[in-house]
Amino acid sequence: MKRRSFALVLALALWNCTGRAPHETPEPVPNIARTTPAKFDPTANASADLAAAVVLARASHRRIILDVGGEWCSWCHILDQFIEAHADLGKDIARDFVWLKINFSPENENQAFLSKYPRIPGYPHLYVLSEDGDLLHSQDTAKLELDRSYDLEKMRTFFGTWAKKQEAQ
């Protein structure tokens, strides 16, 4: 009950801050993006950002992607560029997911936050969460690569598989 009350209070607070009703999609918080994700921020509070992502995901009926990496990670930049270069894929991702970057770097390894999730074999790493923030899947992005980029069909399949299926009206 406390969890629902907290979520309701947070949703109402967002409504008051944004001038939107809780069911409308609020503007993303700085570390949450709709299409091209923001940079990895070692000063970000991963737990607070996830709480905000959960509110946004619930309000917009989307799942959450935790993108773990850092500004030092060349493949993280390749992933961002790949999504940006494939606008249709980016549009589908934005429709189906709230994207949250979680920094992993010498400045901030986010050990306490990341200890709740399965081990990461390499970066970037994607975790798919439910709209309530529960872990659904852990994805090694190396399995989505093709040469020095990503495989479009594997990416479409991955995001399509994990998108929340909308119930028939």
Tens-digit pLDDT profile for residues 113-139: 999 999 999 999 999 999 999 999 999
What pLDDT does 81 receive? 94
Averaged pLDDT, 25-35: 44
Residue 166 has pLDDT above 90, yes or no: no
Q: Which two tokens stand for residue 107?
A: 């400045």
Q: Of 124, 127, 129, 133, nearest to 105 (Cα)?
A: 124
Average pLDDT across the chain, whole number: 83
Instruction: Name the more confident of 9 and 43.
Output: 43
Token pair listed for 72? 């030092």
Give how far Cα 25 sits from Cα of 55, 69, 145, Å: 10, 26, 32
What average pLDDT does range 76-86 have in this prediction? Answer: 95
Q: What pTM was computed for the model?
A: 0.78
Residue 123 is predicted with a pLDDT of 97
Mean local confidence (pLDDT), 9-27: 41
- CATH-assigned architecture of domain 29-162: 3-Layer(aba) Sandwich (3.40)
